Amino acid sequence: MNRTDDEREREGTQAGRLWTVLSEGGTRLVALGGRARRLTRREVKDIVFKLLVALMVLIVVTPFFLLLARLLSVGLQDLVGSGPGQGWELIATLPGAALRGGVLNAIVGTTVLVLVATAVGVPLSVMGAVYINEYSRPGRVRTAIEFGADVLAGIPSIVFGAFGFTFLVAYLGLGLGALTGGLTLAFMMIPTVMRTTQEALKQVPSSLREASLALGATKWATTWRVTVRAALPGIVTGILLAVGRVMGETAPLIFTTGNNLGLPTGLVGPESWVASLPFTIWSYIMDPRPYLQVRAHSAALVLLMMVLIVDILANYASRRLTRRIV
């Protein structure tokens, strides 16, 4: 009596037979859960769709584990070995003769570059975000600045590299080195820090600002002592996210930092040339010597650990932010 449109349609068509088979299969599956009714076409579709999207999640996360497995299976011999450049020596010694030593130069180089980038990029972007959120009214200026930050975030890293090369190295005459590389990375940090700071500032309730202004505080004092302070965990998250991102950048550094098998000793000139982990991994992997191929994997593990630690710290800071404000 209750023949649905579904059933009528199913019996007629060719494709309907496939559905009958599928739905009977589905019915048997579900029968284990205590049902006796044959599933309708739509119920089968629902189940198939859910299985399909679950499978897609599996496809998305699988490469991550394959990648970790590869890095660990090859890089581990460097981490636990006791030859030159293995074990602790991997992160505590310079490459030395025939590059048999560790990657200390790259670790120091990446650290120096990130410090320079942070020192330049963070104040600029935090002040910019404070301007947008606290001092500007919604309008053309704000839209333009926000659009600028978004465009900057989308520019390919190699374009930053080429720009750093022609503007900083050639036009300004800064030469290769830590300063040029750090500045190039600073340009890349600005959008991330700026937009996350802005988000964090937006989340500060306006009642907090009003409370401070009602006490007779100036806008300036309110902004820096109350608003920015309340938004600090979010700002820290933004900074850490940006640091994690630029830490792994290779392309902007190829034409801006030079390379160095020792440690940098100055801020300008050839003494300031630095190595970096991504660049070192790249040059090792392109080297035919087998032990350098292995070293590339262990250096990649070191870089991955550094990036993931920064990322976890960033998440930790922002979770605390949301918990405190919500």
Q: Would you call 23 helix, strand, or coil by DSSP? A: helix
As measured in angstroms, the least distance from the Cβ of 250 to another protein is 5
Instruction: State how far the Cα of 180 lies from the Cα of 44, in Å rounded to an integer.
Output: 60
Contact 161, 180 (CB under 8 A): no
Of 17-25, 92-100, 166-174, 226-234, the segment contacting another protein by CB under 8 A is 166-174
Torsion of CA 161, 303, 243, 162, to 10 degrees: 0
* Nearest residue to 29 via CA among 21, 277, 168: 21
**Local structure of residue 177 (DSSP, 8 states):** S
**Local structure of residue 98 (DSSP, 8 states):** G
Contact 318, 234 (CB under 8 A): yes
As measured in angstroms, the least distance from the Cβ of 135 to another protein is 5
With binding defined as CB under 8 A, does residue 167 bind another protein? yes
Q: How many residues bind another protein (CB under 8 A)?
A: 98
Of 86-94, 173-181, 299-307, 317-325, the segment contacting another protein by CB under 8 A is 299-307
Touching another protein, residues 184-203 (CB under 8 A)? 187, 190-191, 194
Of 52-60, 86-94, 201-209, 263-271, the segment contacting another protein by CB under 8 A is 52-60
Binding mask 127-146 for another protein (x = CB under 8 A): xxxxxx--xx-------xx-
Instruction: State how far the Cα of 213 lies from the Cα of 262, in Å rounded to an integer.
Output: 54
With binding defined as CB under 8 A, does residue 226 bind another protein? no
* Binding test (CB under 8 A) with another protein, winner from 32, 36, 80, 97: 36
With binding defined as CB under 8 A, does residue 308 bind another protein? yes
Touching another protein, residues 62-91 (CB under 8 A)? 63-64, 66-67, 70-71, 74
With binding defined as CB under 8 A, does residue 219 bind another protein? yes
With binding defined as CB under 8 A, does residue 4 bind another protein? yes
Between the alpha carbon of residue 109 and those of residues 85, 132, 140, 264, 271, the distances in Å are: 18, 34, 41, 8, 12
As measured in angstroms, the least distance from the Cβ of 110 to another protein is 11
- Tokens matching residue 314: 């960033």
Touching another protein, residues 5-34 (CB under 8 A)? 5-6, 9, 33-34
Q: Would you call 236 helix, strand, or coil by DSSP? A: helix
User: Which sign, positive or negative, has the C-alpha torsion 181, 182, 183, 188?
Assistant: positive
As measured in angstroms, the least distance from the Cβ of 44 to another protein is 10
With binding defined as CB under 8 A, does residue 49 bind another protein? yes
